[in-house]
């Protein structure tokens, strides 16, 4: 009974969300048709982002009060010399503490939030709560949530739209598995993930989205994508954005690379024209390494 009840509520929720999104899309598609007339010109014009280099630290489900306070102290005492935006994502229970400890330029992010308005969703945190707690960013669609928690492309799209509408900016993660790469499907997978987001959001919404390209095979494995491999996908993503969203968005949107970024490989990766920042997991728990990675922004083009 209970299961049936909750399914019905969830279905109602999704039907409602889809209807709203469809209506929004219908209106925005009409204006997109006009923009598409110049599409082929813009495809060739897709180029590196004009936005500020942005480095995220995804602390995942790691740390304790003690280790996190130490990490904040190291980050605060490290010298950020580059022009860079920095976003640290501690575990939910520590965000408030971290936010009160970290000094600018550090900002904070949540690692996830619920797909809609809060309510009877045990264990979840709503975008309204993040907004209320002055948490400006949320990471959505991380591959660990896709693979371990069953989040689909469509679900990530809906979450992205809901967070943005609530006033929380989104780091939206995409990326292929090793099997998908080996089958030659890297771009196809990334584009499907992007399409599900683009289906839900308006052109204007992209101002508040950072795309994080994180090949699953490079996450936490120590096996970093070569700068060329990363650049190829980033350029492909930007071209896709130009063709499917708009040239203006493609030229502004920031695309982070994530997957075994560390203090030793960041400078070389940062030089690639379409790499506009990093999303860092393991190395973000080492304050000195993370400061070095943030400062690699000085090498960006």
Q: Where along the sequence are the contacts to ligand PGA (CB under 6 A)?
A: 58, 214, 219-220, 258-261, 279-283
Whether the Cβ atoms of residue 110 and residue 95 lie closer than 8 Å to each other:
yes
Report in angstroms how near the CB of residue 224 gets to ligand PGA at its nearest. Answer: 8
- Cα pseudo-dihedral 23, 28, 33, 39, rounded to 10: -130
Instruction: Compute how many other C-beta atoms are within 10 angstroms of the C-beta atom of residue 197.
Output: 26
Q: In this complex, which beta carbon is closest to ligand PGA, that of residue 112 or of residue 260?
A: 260
Identify the bridge partners of residue 213 per DSSP, sorted by sequence position. Answer: 174, 257
Residue 249: partners with Cβ closer than 8 Å, 6 or more residues away: 203, 206, 241, 242
Whether the Cβ atoms of residue 108 and residue 149 lie closer than 8 Å to each other:
no
Q: How far apart are CA 159 and CA 165, in angstroms?
A: 10
Q: In this complex, which beta carbon is closest to ligand PGA, that of residue 142 or of residue 239?
A: 142
Q: In this complex, which beta carbon is closest to ligand PGA, that of residue 234 or of residue 239?
A: 234
Report in angstroms how near the CB of residue 37 gets to ligand PGA at its nearest. Answer: 38
Catalytic residue from among 128, 151, 176, 214: 214
Q: In this complex, which beta carbon is closest to ligand PGA, that of residue 45 or of residue 178?
A: 178
Report in angstroms how near the CB of residue 40 gets to ligand PGA at its nearest. Answer: 35
Asked if 214 is an active-site residue, the reply is yes
Q: How far apart are CA 116 and CA 81, in angstroms?
A: 39
Q: What is the largest CA-CA distance in the chain?
A: 59
Sign of torsion, CA 188 50 102 115?
negative
Shortest-Cβ-distance residue relative to ligand PGA: 281
User: Which H/E stretch holds residue 138?
Assistant: strand 137-140
Report in angstroms how near the CB of residue 214 gets to ligand PGA at its nearest. Answer: 5
Asked if 142 is an active-site residue, the reply is yes
Q: Please compute, for residue 3, the number of CA atoms within 13 A of its CA located in the half-sphere on the CB side.
A: 0
Q: How far apart are CA 193 and CA 172, in angstroms?
A: 10
Catalytic residue from among 128, 142, 176, 234: 142
Q: In this complex, which beta carbon is closest to ligand PGA, that of residue 116 or of residue 281?
A: 281
Report in angstroms how near the CB of residue 116 gets to ligand PGA at its nearest. Answer: 25
Q: In this complex, which beta carbon is closest to ligand PGA, that of residue 102 or of residue 219?
A: 219
Report in angstroms how near the CB of residue 230 gets to ligand PGA at its nearest. Answer: 13
Whether the Cβ atoms of residue 209 and residue 178 lie closer than 8 Å to each other:
no
Catalytic residue annotation: 142, 214
């Amino acid at each position: 009974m209970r299961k049936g009840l909750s399914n019905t509520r969830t279905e109602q929720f999704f039907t409602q969300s889809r209807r709203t999104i469809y209506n929004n899309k219908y209106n925005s598609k009409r204006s997109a048709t006009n923009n598409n007339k110049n599409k082929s010109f813009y495809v060739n014009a897709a180029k590196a982002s004009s936005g500020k280099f942005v480095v995220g630290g995804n602390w995942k489900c790691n740390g304790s009060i003690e280790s996190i306070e130490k990490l904040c102290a190291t980050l605060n005492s490290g010298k950020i010399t580059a022009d860079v935006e920095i976003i640290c994502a501690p575990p939910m229970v520590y965000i408030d503490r971290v936010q009160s400890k970290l000094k600018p330029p550090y900002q904070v992010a949540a690692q996830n939030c619920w797909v809609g308005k809060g309510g009877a969703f045990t264990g979840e945190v709503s975008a309204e709560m993040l907004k209320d707690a002055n948490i400006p960013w949320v990471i959505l669609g991380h591959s660990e949530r896709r693979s371990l928690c069953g989040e689909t492309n469509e679900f990530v799209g809906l979450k992205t739209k809901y967070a943005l509408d609530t006033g929380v900016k989104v780091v939206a993660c995409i990326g292929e598995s090793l099997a998908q790469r080996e089958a030659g499907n890297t771009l196809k997978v990334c584009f499907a993930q992007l399409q599900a987001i683009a289906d839900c959001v308006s052109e204007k919404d992209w101002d508040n989205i950072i795309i994080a390209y994180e090949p699953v095979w490079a996450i936490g494995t120590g096996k970093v994508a070569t700068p060329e491999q990363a650049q190829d996908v980033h350029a492909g993503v930007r071209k896709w954005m130009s063709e499917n969203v708009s040239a203006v968005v493609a030229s502004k949107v920031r695309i982070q690379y994530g997957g075994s970024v560390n203090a030793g490989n960041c400078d070389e990766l940062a030089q690639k024209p379409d790499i506009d920042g990093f999303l860092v997991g393991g190395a973000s728990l080492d304050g000195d390494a993370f400061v070095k990675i943030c400062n690699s922004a000085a090498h960006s083009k």
